[in-house]
Structure 1
C-alpha cells in the first residue's frame, strides 16, 4: 500500500515505514563515495562529518529539501541519521525512490 503526499511523491503507507525504521534496517552508501553529513537537508548547511567509504546508515526519518544528483539519481529526500545529521538520499541505496522511513517532524 502507498500514499501520495501534497508534493506528488508516492511513498509506502505508514505501518510499512514504521516497521522498517524500528527494525534497525541499515542501508549502504554508494560504493566509492565518502558522503558528507550536513546539519540540515541541503548543501548550504555546514558539514558535521564525513562517512567513510563502505558505510551503512540507519535512517531515523526523512524530509524533503534541496534536490541533489548522485549515483542513485536525483532526489530532494534527505535522510536523518542522527540529531542535526542529514545525508542526501541520492547517495544511499534504499531500493526506493520514495520514503523508506517516517517523515521528520521538525
Structure 2
C-alpha cells in the first residue's frame, strides 16, 4: 500500500486532485496519470523555503497562533506540489487555520 501510494509500485498512484499535479498532466510531462514523475523535487523547492521562513518567523514570535498558521501554509504548499491533493487535506489545513484564529484571540491581551 505505501509503495503504491508513494508512486513506487509497479503502477504508480494516479496523478489527480486539486494541486499543481494538474499542470504536469496539462503540459504533457507524463503520458498518463499513472506515469512516474519526480514530485519530490517540486515538494522540496516549495516546502524547504517555506520551512526556513516559518522557522525564522516562529523564533521571532513564538505563539500557538503562528505555529498553527505556519503549519497550515507549509502543508498547503507541500500538498499542492505533490502527486495528489485531496479535498480532505484542505479540510485539515482549514482546521489549523481556524485554530490559529482562535489561538490569536487567546494570545492577545484583553482590551
TM-score by length of 2: 0.21
TM-score by length of 1: 0.21
Q: Which has the higher strand share?
A: 1
Larger Rg: 2
